[in-house]
Chain A
Amino acid sequence: MPGADKETDLTERIEAFLADLKRGGSGTGPLRGSGEMARETTYLLRRITAQARWSSAGDLMEIIRNEGRRMTAAQPSETTVGNMVRRVLKIIREEYARSRGSSEETEQQESLHKLLTAGELSEENFRQHFVHLKANVIEAINELLTELDGTTDNIAMQALEHIHSNEVIMTVGRSRTVEAFLKDAARKRKFHVIVAECAPFCQGHEMATGLSKVGIETTVIADAAIFAVMSRVNKVIIGTQTVLANGGLRAVNGTHSVALAARHHSTPLIICAPMFKLSPQFPNEEDTFHKFVSPHEVLPFTAGSTLIENLFQCFILLRLFTKVSVTPEVINALSV
C-alpha cells in the first residue's frame, strides 16, 4: 500500500531528525549553523504537511504540535526548531483563515472582542475541511523557505550603514551571518577586524582565515585580551544563537565578557540575528540555556588521569553557549 509506505517513510525521517538533534545539534559534531537547522526543520514540517494524514487544519496543527514538542525536547538548546514550528503553525492558521474567506485584518480586528466574549472557539474553528488548504499551506511554507534562504543576504545588505571606513571592529568566534556582514562591507570600505578566538573550540581562527581571504585586515586575540583591546575598538559586531524575549542573548561562550567590556568602554554593540532566532522564551529556566559538551577539548582524556583528578578535583564543564544576562541596555543595534 503506497499510503502506508509513505507514512513509514515519514516517521523514519522524523526519527532520524530527532536522533540527529540528540547527537549534537548545531555547534558540535557536524558543525551546522542554526540557519541550516531552521531550513531542515521547515523541510521536515513541509514533508509532514504533505504526507501525513489529516483532513482539517486542526488535525494538521495537532500533528505538527506533537512532533514539534518532541523535536524541542530532543535538543532544548536548539531554539530555532521551536521557532520554526511556531512559524509553520501560524502559517496554517493564516491559510485556514484565508480559506474561510476572512482576511487577516478582519480576523485581527475581531480578535480583541472575540477574546473577551467567546471562550474557546479557536479549536472548533479549525475543523472545517478545505480542498485547497494543503496546497496553500505548502505554498506558504515554500515562501518561508525562500525567506530563510535570503536572510543572511538581507542582513549583509545593511552592512554599509553600520561599518564606516577605517573603523576597528571586534567580533567573537564564528558566525556565518557576521562573516557575510563583514565581507559585504569590505567590498566598499576598508576597516580592521579583531577576532576573539573563543577558546576552547577556537572558532575564531576559522572566522579570521575566512575574513583575511577576502582581504580584510584581521587580528586574532586571546579571549583574555578582550578588555584590553576594547578601548581601541569602534564597534562590536557579534552573532548569537538566540535572542530571548527580554532582549537578552544566548550566545557563544565569551560573548558575555565582550558585552561587559563594550559597556565599560561605551562601545556600540551590534547583534546580527535573523528573524528565526527571536525566541519567545524568557531566561528563567537556568538549566536549558546552557549546552554542555564533553570536557575533551579542555582536558585531553589521556591527561585526565589520577593526578589531575586528585590534585585539583577540577571541574570541567564545557559550555558551548552561555546566556548573556546583560539585557537590552547593552545592545545598541539589532540587525534583523
Chain B
Amino acid sequence: MSSRGGKQKKGNVTSEQEEEEQPLQAVLVADSFNRRFFPISKDQPRALLPLGNVAMIDYTLEFLTSTGVQETFVFCCWMSNKIKDHLLKSKWCRPTSPNVVHIITSDLYRSLGDVLRDVDAKNLVRNDFILVYGDVVSNIDVSQALQEHRHRRKVDKNISVMTMVFKESSPGHKTRCEEDDVIVAMDSKSKRVLHYQKTQGLKKLQFPMNIFQHGSDEFEIRHDLLDCHISICSPQVAELFTDNFDYQTRNDFVRGILVNEEILGNQIHLYVTQDGYGARVSNLQMYDSVSLDMVRRWVYPLTPEANFTDQQGQGCTHSRHNVYRGAEVSLGHGSQMEENVLIGRDTSIGANCHISNSVIGNNCTIGDNVVLDRAHMWNNVHVSSNVEIHQSVVCDGAVVKEAVRLNKQCVLAYNVVIGPNLSLPEGTVVSMHHPEEEEEDDDDEFLSDDQEVGHSKDKTRQKAFNPAEVGPEGKGYIWKASMNDTEDEELAQCLWGLVLNPDPESDSESEASEESQDRSRSVSPEIDDVNAFQLEVLGTLQRGLEENIVCDNLVLEINSLKYAYNITLKEVMQILTRVVLEYPFQQQGTQLTTLQYTGSLLPLLKTWSPVFKNYIKRAQDHLDCLSAVEELFLEQDTHQTAMVKVLMKMYQLEILEEEAILKWFSTGATNDKSRQLRKNQGVRLGQICVWGKPSQNVKGYQFGHCGSLILLLQKETTLLIFSDGVQRKQTPCSQCHKKESCGMV
C-alpha cells in the first residue's frame, strides 16, 4: 500500500475518538496591537510585510496547514481590507484548500484579549485550538505537542488550559527576541509551568518559594527557551478571557492563571522542541534575523525556492552558497553574490556589485558598484550607482540616489527618495508621513474625512522636506527614534528592538527595588505586583496633592491597594517611604541639587505626615522605615547630605522617634557603603538628638569602641548611645574607659 494510505490508517487508529468528530481549528491574530513597525505599518499591516518576498501571514498559514489545521479564523483589525484582499487572492481561499480560512474583521479589537473574547462570544471554537500571530514563521510539527495536550486534558479533566510551544536556543542567540526573553520554572515530569517571568534585562530574579513546595521532586528553571508564540489552547481559554476582562495579552493571561492556580485549578504546560524552527517577527531586529534564517534554510521546507504559496512567477532557483534567483534576473559584469542572497523576479543588478546576506524583492533595479550587506529590499526599489547599504530595510517603491550610504538599522519606508550624496546616520527612519500627523489621526484613522485632512496637510507640508536630512532630491521626513515621549514605553516602541541603548535609570531602579525586597522578605509575591503597587501609590499621592485629598482618604486608598496587590504592611511602609522620597525626582527630574531637593521634599513630608503616622506605629516599623530611607540615599549618592534633614524633619513631625533613629544608627551596618553613610551622618545625627532636646548642647562626638556613639555634652558629661538604643549619661562603656585607644576626649 502507499504510505499515504498507511498514514491515514494510523491516524484513524490512534485518535479516532477526538479527531473524527472535530477538525483541528486555529485562531490567527493578524494584528500586532502595537506600533513597533510604525512608519512602515502605516501603509501596510504587519502581517503582509514581505519576508523573503512572501507575506508573513502566508508563512503562518502554511505552518498551520502543514500541522493539519483544517479551519482557521483570521482576525484582522488594522487595515483589515488589505489582509482580506490578500487572503482571498491566495491559495488558502481556493475551494481545494485543506485549510478553510474564515476572515473576521472588526475595528474594535484592541488587544489579543478582545479577539479571544470575540471568539468566545461568537462561539467559534469547539475544541482545542492553536493560537498564533500573523507574523510567526515556523516549521515545528505541533502534532506531538497537541497529542500531549489532549492526553493531559483527558487524564486531568480539563485542568490544563494551555500548552505553550518553546524552542530551545541558547541565551544571546540572534533569533531570540530580547524583549521576549523569559525565565520559566517548570515541573520536569509533568512539564507544568510553575513560574513565568519576562527577564527584560534584569540581573536578579525572584522565585516565590511556594512553587517549589508542590508535590513533584524535580524542577527545571530554564532560560534557554525561545518563545515561538504558538500556543495550544483549550476552549476554556476564550472563556477565561471573557471572565477576566482585564486580560489583554497572553502574558496577562499566563500570569493570571499562575497566580490564581489554587483558586481556579487551571494549569499551563510547556512543550519544548529541539528541532524545528519557530519565531515571531516582533521587531525589525527579529525581521532581520528571521529573514536570514529563512534564506539559510533553517525553516526548511519553507524555503524560497519551494514557492509554497503557489503563486505564478514566484519560483526561484537555488544554487551554491544559498543564492536564490527568481525568473528574469540579470546580473551585471563583475557583480558578486557572496552568500545568502535572495533576488526576486525581474530584478536587474548592475556591474561590480557586492551583495551578501540580503533579500531583494521583485522588479528592483540596482546600479553599478553597489554594496549591499544585510539589506532587505522590497519590491520596486531603485538603487543608483555607488550606493552602500548595511543592515537596513528599504520598503516598496523607495528610491536611493547616487552615492548614498545607509548605515546600520536605517529604515526607508514606502516611496521615500533619498540622496544623492548623503550618508544617513545609524538608526535613521525616513517616511513619507510626517511624524506629527501620526498623533492627529491616531484614533480616528478610520474616519474618511479625517484622512482627507491628513492628506491636505500632507500636501502643504510637501515642500518642507529637509534637504539636509534626505538629500537635495530627497522626499521624506525623518522620524526621530526618541520621538515617543511616553516614558516607560520607549523601549517597546522603537523599531529595532532593544538595540537602542536601554535606559540605565530604569534598570538600576528595578534592580534596587528588588534588592529591598530581597532583604525584607523570604517569600515574596510577584515582583511585578510590588512594582505595580509602587506605581499606584505614586499615582495616588500625586492625585492627592493635585486634588487636595484629605490624608485619611489617601490612607484608605493605599489600604485598598495593599489588598489588591497582596502587599504586606511592612512593604507598604517601605514603598510609601520610597515613593515620597523619590517624589521630587519624579516631578522635577534627577538633576536636582540637594538644596532644591530638600526644599521640595520637606513640605511634602509635612503634608503627608498623617499618612506616615498611620503606618509607622511599632518600634519595628520605625526601623523598617529608616532602612528604606537609608537604601534610597545609598542609591542617590549625591544627595546624602539631605538625609539628615529628612530624618530631622521626620523626627520633628513625630513620624520617627528618637530612640528608633539612634537604634538604627547604632545597629550594625550591612555593608561598607552604609557604614560610610552612617559615619558621615553621625555628627548630624548627634545634632538631631540635640535639636530634639535643646537643654543638652553637644560639643562634639566620638565613636566608642563598642560601636556606640558618644556625644560630648556641654557640662563635661558624655551621653552614650548604645546599639540597643539605650542612652546613658556619664558612663562610657567600661572597655572604652580602660582603653585609651578608644579615643575618648
Residues of A within 8 A of B (CB): 8, 11-12, 15-17, 19-20, 22-24, 28-30, 32, 36, 39-40, 43, 73, 286-288, 292-296, 300-306, 309, 315-318
A297 closest partner in B (C-beta): B275
Q: Residue B97 at the A interface, CB < 8 A?
A: yes
- B168 near A293 with CB under 8 A, answer no
- Complex Cα distance, B226 from A300, in Å, reads 14
Closest 10 CB pairs of A and B: A294-B300, A305-B173, A40-B2, A15-B96, A11-B96, A287-B317, A302-B170, A23-B301, A287-B319, A36-B3
B interface residue numbers (CB < 8 A to A): 2-4, 7, 65-66, 95-98, 139, 167-170, 172-174, 224, 274-275, 277, 296-301, 303, 306-308, 315, 317-322, 339
| Contact A315–B315 (Cβ < 8 Å) | no
Beyond A301-B298, A306-B174, 14 extra complex contacts between A and B, CB < 8 Å? A12-B96, A12-B98, A15-B96, A19-B65, A39-B2, A292-B318, A293-B300, A294-B299, A295-B296, A296-B298, A302-B224, A305-B172, A306-B172, A318-B297
Contact residues in B for A16 (Cβ distance below 8 Å): 98
Distance, CA A36 to CA B317, complexed state (A): 27
**Cβ–Cβ contact A8 & B275, under 8 A:** no
- B298/A43 in contact, CB under 8 A: no
Query: What chain A residues lie within 8 Å of B96 (beta carbons)?
Result: 8, 11-12, 15
Inter-chain contact A295/B298, CB cutoff 8 Å: yes
Complex CA distance for A293 and B318, rounded to whole angstroms:
12
> Measured between alpha carbons, how far is A73 from B168 in the docked complex, in Å?
34
Query: A8, A287, A294: which has the most chain B beta carbons within 10 Å?
Result: A294
Bound CA span A188–B321, Å: 49
Instruction: Tell me if A292 and B297 are in contact (CB < 8 A).
Output: yes
> Nearest B residue to A39 by beta-carbon distance?
B2
**In chain A, what residue has the closest Cβ to B322?**
A317
Given the complex, which residues of B lie within 8 Å of A286, measured CB to CB?
Answer: 319
19 CB contacts below 8 A, A to B, read A15-B96, A20-B4, A22-B308, A29-B301, A39-B2, A287-B317, A294-B277, A294-B300, A296-B300, A300-B274, A301-B167, A302-B170, A303-B170, A305-B170, A305-B172, A309-B174, A315-B321, A317-B320, A317-B321
Question: Known: A294-B298, A302-B170, A305-B172. Contact between A30 and B3, CB under 8 A?
Answer: yes
Nearest chain A CB to B187's CB is how many angstroms away?
22
Chain B: minimal CB distance from A283 (Å): 15
The docked-state distance in angstroms from the alpha carbon of A16 to that of B97 is 9
Closest B residue by C-beta to A17: B4
A40 touches B3 (CB 8 A): yes
- Do B306 and A316 have beta carbons less than 8 Å apart? no
Whether B98 and A19, one on each chain, are in contact in the complex, defined by CB atoms closer than 8 angstroms, is: yes
**Least CB distance, B674 to chain A, in whole angstroms:** 40
B98 touching A304, Cβ below 8 Å: no
- Residue from A293, A295, A301, A317 whose CB has the most chain B CB atoms within 10 Å: A301
Knowing A301-B169, A304-B173, A309-B174 are in contact, say whether A30-B339 is a contact too (CB < 8 A): no
Query: Is B301's CB under 8 angstroms from A22's CB?
Result: yes
CA distance A12 to B97 in the complex (A): 7
Bound CA span A293–B300, Å: 6
User: For the complex, what is the distance from the CA of A30 to the CA of B2, rounded to whole Å?
Assistant: 12
- Which of chain A's residues have a CB closer than 8 A to the CB of B173? 301-302, 304-306
Q: Which of B3, B66, B296, B303 contacts A316 (CB 8 A)?
A: B296
Cβ contact of B297, chosen from A11, A30, A295, cutoff 8 A = A295
Q: How far is the CB of A30 from chain B (nearest CB, A)?
A: 7
Distance in angstroms from B125 CB to nearest chain A CB is: 24
B-side contacts of A303, CB under 8 Å: 170
CA distance A178 to B170 in the complex (A): 41
Report how far A28 CA is from B275 CA in the complex, Å. 13
Do B169 and A302 touch across chains, with their CB atoms under 8 A apart? yes
Closest to B2 in A: A40
Could you tell me the distance between the alpha carbons of A286 and B173 in the complex, rounded to whole angstroms? 34
Residues of B within 8 A of A293 (CB): 297, 300
- Given A292-B318, A296-B275, A315-B321, are A301 and B168 also a contact pair (CB < 8 Å)? yes
B7: chain A residues at CB < 8 Å are: 30
What is the chain A residue whose CB lies nearest that of B319? A287
Among B317, B319, B339, point to the contact of A315 (Cβ < 8 A).
B339
Say how far A148's CB is from chain B's closest CB, in angstroms: 11
**Cβ B95 vs Cβ A305 within 8 A:** no
Q: Nearest A residue to B1 by beta-carbon distance?
A: A39
**A36 and B339 contact, CB distance less than 8 A:** no
**The one of B174, B296, B308, B320 that contacts A305, using a Cβ cutoff of 8 Å:** B174
Tell me the complex Cα distance, A288–B305, Å: 11
- Chain B residue at smallest Cβ distance from A300: B274
Chain A positions within 8 Å of B97 at CB level: 15
Question: Which chain B residues border A39 with CB–CB below 8 Å?
Answer: 2
Could you tell me if A40 and B4 are in contact, using CB atoms closer than 8 angstroms?
yes
Chain A residues with Cβ below 8 Å from B167 are 301
Which chain A residues lie closer than 8 Å to B322 at the CB level? 315, 317
**Chain B residues with Cβ under 8 A from A292's Cβ?**
297, 300, 303, 318
Closest chain A residue to B167 by CB distance?
A301
Residue of B whose beta carbon sits closest to that of A11: B96
Q: Across the interface, do B2 and A23 meet the contact criterion of CB distance under 8 Å? A: no
* Residue pair A23, B66 in contact (C-beta under 8 Å): yes
A186 to chain B, nearest CB (A): 27
Are B317 and A32 in contact (CB-based, < 8 A)? Answer: no
Q: How far is the CA of A301 from the CA of B275 in the complex (A)?
A: 8
Closest to B139 in A: A294
Instruction: Check A36–B320 contact: CB distance below 8 A.
Output: no
CB proximity of A227 to chain B, nearest CB, Å: 25
Q: From A286, which residue of chain B is reached at the shortest CB distance?
A: B319
A76–chain B nearest beta-carbon distance, Å: 9
Inter-chain contacts of B317 with A (CB < 8 A): 287-288
Contact A22 to B306, CB < 8 A, known contacts A302-B224, A306-B174: yes
What separation, in Å, do the CA atoms of A194 and B498 have in the docked complex? 54
Q: Shortest Cβ distance from B435 into chain A, in angstroms? A: 34
Question: Which of the listed residues B3, B98, B172, B317 has the most CB atoms from chain A within 10 Å of its own CB?
Answer: B3
- Distance in angstroms from B74 CB to nearest chain A CB is 19
In Å, the complex CA distance between A20 and B296 comes to 22
Of chain A, the residue at the smallest CB distance from B338 is: A313
In the bound assembly, the distance between CA atoms of A316 and B172 in angstroms comes to 20
A156 CB to closest chain B CB (Å) equals 20
Given the complex, which residues of A lie within 8 Å of B321, measured CB to CB? 315, 317
Interface centre among B173, B299, B315, B339 (most CB of A within 10 A): B173
Known: A294-B297, A296-B298. A8 touches B95 (CB 8 A): yes
Taking CB atoms, residues of chain A closer than 8 Å to B318 are 287, 292
CB distance from B708 to the nearest CB of A (A): 56
Residues of B contacting A24 in the complex (Cβ-Cβ under 8 angstroms): 301
Across-interface contacts of A317 in B (CB, < 8 A): 297, 320-322
